[in-house]
Chain A
Amino acid sequence: MSPTPLQAFSGVTKSAAAHQKHAVTEGEKMTGAQALVRALEDLGVKDVFGVPGGAILPVYDAINEDTDFRFILARHEQAAGHAAEGYAVATGEVGVCIVTSGPGATNVITAIADANMDSIPMIVITGQVGVNSIGTDAFQEADIVGATYPVSKHSYLVTSAQDVPRVLAEAHYIARSGRPGPVVVDLTKTAQNEEMYYSWPQRMILPGYNPTTEAHGRVLTTAAKMFQRSFRPVLYVGGGAVRSDAGDEIKALSDLTGAPIVTTLPARGIVSDDDPAVLGMLGMHGTIAATGAVQRSDLLVAIGARFDDRVTGKLEAFAPGARVIHIDIDPAEIGKNRTADVPIVGDVKTVLQALIPQIEQLHAEYGKPDLSSWWKLLDKWVEQYPVRYEEPTDGTLAPQWVVEQLSEAADPNTIWVSGVGQHQMWATQLIKFRKPHQWISSGGLGTMGFGLPAAIGAAVGSQRYFNGDKPVWLIDGDGSFQMTSEELATAFLEGTPVKIALLNNSVYGMVRQWQTLFYDKHYSATILHEEDETGLVGCPDFVKLAEAYGCVGLRARTKEEAIECIRKANEINDRPVLIDFHVWKDAMVWPMVAAGDSNNNVTYMPGIKPLLNPTGDVRLDDADDMDGAAAADENEEN
C-alpha cells in the first residue's frame, strides 16, 4: 500500500517493521486505550475533564467504575481545557483533559494557548483518526499536532500502542517541570485499539530537555551585592513564583531586605495583602504605589515575571533608573523585553533559598541599607492613592462596591476565579488576597469565558485536595460568562457548588471603556442588551438561566439586596449559586495607563496623574525630581 500524504512527509512510520524490531513482549497485555487509562492512574492523576467523541471512544470505553480517577464531563471542549487549568492552579497538580479529534481538538486549542501563556501544567489528550486515514481529510480529522506547535510546550502524535505509557510519563514530566505548560498527546484510533504490553515505571527518553533549576554561584553573589547597594529596591513578582510555590521565600526576601512587593495579575496573593510590604498589582490597571515604586526604583528584581506589555507600558520608559535582576526558569524570557544586569536562570524557590543567606551574610558584614526615605514615599502613595471609584449615576450598583462586599463576606480560604474584562481588574484590585493558589484568572491570553469552567476545575480540586473546605467564588462579567455559560450544567451535575457573582452591566465593559476614552464614545458592537428596548430584565434572564440548569439564581439591584444575596450565597454549599448584580455600565477601571504609553503617565482618576507630580504632596530627593521632569517632557512629546 502506498503511503498516505502524512506518512510520506511527516511522521507516521511507513511500516510496522520498525516497531517489530523492538517488539516488547513483557508486561501486561492490554489495548492502547487501556494503557492510557492505566498510565494516568500510575501517574497519580485523580481527576480528568473531557468530552467524548468518535475518535477517542476506545479510551472512554476503558474508563469505568473501577478507574482510579474521577471523570468530569464538560459540555464543551474549551471548557474541559479551562477546567483542567483551574484545577491545576488551585492544586498545583497537572490538569488533564481528554477530548476527541477534529472539532473537539480544535475547540480545546484556546485552552491550550491559555495554559501556554500562563505556564499552567496540563496534559491534553486528543483522539486522532486511524493511522491509515491521516492526511486524507477523513471525517473529524484535523492536524492537531501541527495546529498546536506554536501554542503548546510540546506535542506528541502517538501511532503505536506500545508508546502510550512512555509518552504519558514524558508528557506529565514535561508539563510539570521546568517552565510548566500544556503538552498535547494526539492518540490515533489505531494506537488506542492496538494491543500492547504494559509496564510501569517507564524510562523517559528526553535528551533535548534539561531544565535548569539551580543558579550558579557568581550571579547570586552579584545579586546580593546589588541589594546591598540599592536604596530603592522593588520585588516585581510574577506568575512563575506561584508555579514555583515560592510565597514563603518572597516574603522572607522582602522581610530581610525591606523591599516592597509588587505583583503581576497571576501573582496576586503570593504574599498576603495584610503584609504592609505588598503594594498590589502594577501596570496598566495597577495601583499608583506599585506602578510608582517600579518607575522610581533603582533595583528591579523580576521574579518569575516576563515584562509583559500590560505591565511595562512603553518599554523604553519602564523603570528607567533601575538595574535589573531577572530570575526565571526559562532562559528565553531573560533579556527578551528588558536587558537584565544580573540574569539568573533557575527555579524561583530554589534560587531565592540560595540568595537569601548571601544577603544575610552581607548584612552581617556591612549592615542593612537604610530604606526609610523610600518607604516614606511608598507609604505616602499607598495612603494618598488607594483604588477609588465613582458612584453610579443611574441608580445601579457600583461593581467595585460589589467586589468589596464579596471580599469582606467571604471565607478567608476562598479560591477566587474570574473571567476576563473589567470585573477581572476590579477583582484583582479590590479582593483582599491572603494566600497563593487562591486567585485563578486568565492573564496572558486574556480568554473571556475562562471563569466558569476554571471555577469548576478549582472546585473539583478543592474537593479532592482540601476536603471541599476552600469555597470557590467566581467573579464574572455578563459578556465573559456567556462565552461558556453552558457549563452551569457541569457545575450542577458534578456537584461543584461554585458561587457566581455576575457583574451584569449588559455591555462589553472593558471594550466600552476604551471606546469611551479613545474612540469618541462610539459604542460599536459592545451593547449586549438594553432593557428599554426589550422590556426584559436581561437577555438572557440570568436568574432563570441558573434555575434552568438546577442552580440557585438570585438578583440584586440595590445594596440591601446585594448584601442579602451574598449572605445567602455564602450559606449554600450543596449547589451552584448565581447572583445577577445589576451594575453600572459606565463604571471605569482606574488607575489606567493607556496601551503603549509610559507608566509615568498613569491616570489615577480622570485628570490626576500622580507620577508626573514629583514635587507635589510627596517630597522626593533630587534624583527623583529629575526622573519626574524627564517623564513630564516625554508626556509633552506624546
Chain B
Amino acid sequence: MASYPASQPGSKRHTLSVLVENRPGVLARIAGLFARRAFNINSLSVSPTERPDISRVTVTADVDEVPLEQIIKQLNKLLHVLKIVDLDPETTVERELVLIKVAADESNRSDVLEIVRLFRVRVVDVNPESLTIEATGAGGKIDALLGLLDHYGIIELVRSGAVAMSRGPRALSEKVIGSEITGR
C-alpha cells in the first residue's frame, strides 16, 4: 500500500493547513517527513496566526490519496503539530501573492498596462526597461496572468505560496486542545 514517490504525474492537488507550535525547528521536522516520502511540494508558506503561540503552515502539493493520508497521520505524531486539515477547495478561500518583473519599455508598456487593468492587479515599480506587477488571487487567476505576460518576457518572478482558510465563522485553532501554550 505504501507508494513511493508520493507525488505521481496526475496526482490531485491538495492544500494542507497545519497548525504548529510557534517554535524553532518545527518546520524542519515537517519538511523532513515530506522529503522522506518524496512528496513534491508546490508551495509552502509559514506565518504567525491570531494566536501568538501558534503558527500556520500552508502546503500545496500534488499527491495521491493513500500516501497523503499516511503522511497526515505521521505529521500528527509530531509533538509540535497541533492540527492538520486537508482543505476542501469547495469551502476554502485560497490566495497567493506574486511579484512579476516584466520586460516592458515604451514600445509595449501600454499593452502590459492594459493587461494589468483587466486583471485588476497593481504596478508597484516602473523603470524605462521594466514594470513590476503585484498580483493576488487564486492559483487560476495568477496562472492566467502569467500566461499573458510571458509573451513580453518575464525578467523575475516570485510567488508567496498559497495561503488558505475555510469559509464561515469558525477558526481552525478552535480545535486545538488546551489553552495558550505559554511558559516556554
Please give the residue numbers on chain A whose beta carbons come within 8 Å of chain B beta carbons, in ascending order: 10-12, 22, 145-146, 149-150, 154, 157, 163, 174, 203, 205-210, 315, 330-332, 335-339
Beta-carbon contacts under 8 Å, B39-72 to A: 69-70
Between-chain CB contacts (< 8 Å), 25 pairs: A10-B24, A10-B28, A11-B24, A22-B183, A145-B25, A149-B28, A150-B32, A154-B79, A205-B181, A205-B182, A205-B184, A207-B21, A207-B82, A207-B177, A207-B178, A207-B181, A208-B21, A208-B82, A315-B1, A335-B1, A335-B70, A336-B2, A336-B70, A337-B2, A339-B1
B86 CB to closest chain A CB (Å) equals 15
Closest chain A residue, CB of each to CB of B72: A332
A595 CB to closest chain B CB (Å) equals 16
CB-CB under 8 A from B74, the residues of chain A are 332
CB-CB under 8 A from A336, the residues of chain B are 1-2, 70
- The answer to whether B177 and A210 have CB atoms under 8 Å apart is yes
The CA of A209 and the CA of B20, in the complex, are separated in Å by 12
Closest chain B residue, CB of each to CB of A338: B1
CB-CB under 8 A from B1, the residues of chain A are 315, 335-339
Does B13 touch A at the CB level, under 8 Å?
A: no
- Decide: A205 near B79, CB < 8 A? Known: A149-B29, A335-B1: no
Q: Which of A330, A335, A339 contacts B77 (CB 8 A)?
A: A330
B24 CB to closest chain A CB (Å) equals 3
B9 CB to closest chain A CB (Å) equals 24
- The answer to whether A146 and B28 have CB atoms under 8 Å apart is yes
A213 CB to closest chain B CB (Å) equals 15
The CA of A22 and the CA of B184, in the complex, are separated in Å by 9
CB-CB under 8 A from B32, the residues of chain A are 149-150
- The answer to whether A332 and B176 have CB atoms under 8 Å apart is no
CB-CB under 8 A from B23, the residues of chain A are 11
B73 CB to closest chain A CB (Å) equals 4
CB-CB under 8 A from A203, the residues of chain B are 183
Does B157 touch A at the CB level, under 8 Å?
A: no
CB-CB under 8 A from B162, the residues of chain A are none
Interface size class on chain B is: 20 to 34
Q: Residue among B32, B70, B77 with the most chain A CB within 10 A?
A: B77
- The answer to whether A205 and B80 have CB atoms under 8 Å apart is no
CB-CB under 8 A from B178, the residues of chain A are 207
- Decide: A207 near B36, CB < 8 A? Known: A149-B29, A332-B70, A332-B77: no
Closest chain B residue, CB of each to CB of A179: B77
B163 CB to closest chain A CB (Å) equals 22
Does B124 touch A at the CB level, under 8 Å?
A: no
Does B6 touch A at the CB level, under 8 Å?
A: no
CB-CB under 8 A from A146, the residues of chain B are 28
Q: Residue among A11, A145, A174, A207 with the most chain B CB within 10 A?
A: A207
CB-CB under 8 A from A315, the residues of chain B are 1
- The answer to whether B25 and A157 have CB atoms under 8 Å apart is yes
The CA of A10 and the CA of B81, in the complex, are separated in Å by 17
Q: Residue among A146, A149, A174, A315 with the most chain B CB within 10 A?
A: A149
Does B146 touch A at the CB level, under 8 Å?
A: no
- The answer to whether B183 and A205 have CB atoms under 8 Å apart is yes
Known: A146-B28, A205-B183, A335-B69. 10 other contacts (CB 8 A): A12-B24, A22-B183, A149-B29, A150-B36, A174-B79, A207-B181, A208-B82, A209-B79, A210-B177, A335-B70
- The answer to whether B78 and A208 have CB atoms under 8 Å apart is yes
B70 CB to closest chain A CB (Å) equals 6
Closest chain B residue, CB of each to CB of A178: B77
Does B166 touch A at the CB level, under 8 Å?
A: no
CB-CB under 8 A from B70, the residues of chain A are 332, 335-336
The CA of A599 and the CA of B104, in the complex, are separated in Å by 67
CB-CB under 8 A from B73, the residues of chain A are 331-332
B37 CB to closest chain A CB (Å) equals 11
The CA of A174 and the CA of B77, in the complex, are separated in Å by 11
CB-CB under 8 A from A157, the residues of chain B are 25
Q: Residue among B20, B70, B176 with the most chain A CB within 10 A?
A: B70
The CA of A203 and the CA of B183, in the complex, are separated in Å by 9
CB-CB under 8 A from A332, the residues of chain B are 70, 73-74, 76-77
The CA of A492 and the CA of B80, in the complex, are separated in Å by 43
CB-CB under 8 A from A208, the residues of chain B are 20-21, 78-82
A162 CB to closest chain B CB (Å) equals 10
Closest chain B residue, CB of each to CB of A11: B24
A281 CB to closest chain B CB (Å) equals 23
Closest chain B residue, CB of each to CB of A183: B79
Q: Which of A10, A150, A163, A338 contacts B25 (CB 8 A)?
A: A10
The 3 closest A-B pairs by CB, nearest first: A11-B24, A332-B73, A207-B178
- The interface bits of chain B over 70-113 (1 if a CB of A lies within 8 angstroms of the residue's CB, else 0) are 10011011111110000000000000000000000000000000
A613 CB to closest chain B CB (Å) equals 30
Q: Residue among A150, A208, A338 with the most chain B CB within 10 A?
A: A208
- The answer to whether A11 and B81 have CB atoms under 8 Å apart is no
A186 CB to closest chain B CB (Å) equals 11
Closest chain A residue, CB of each to CB of B176: A207
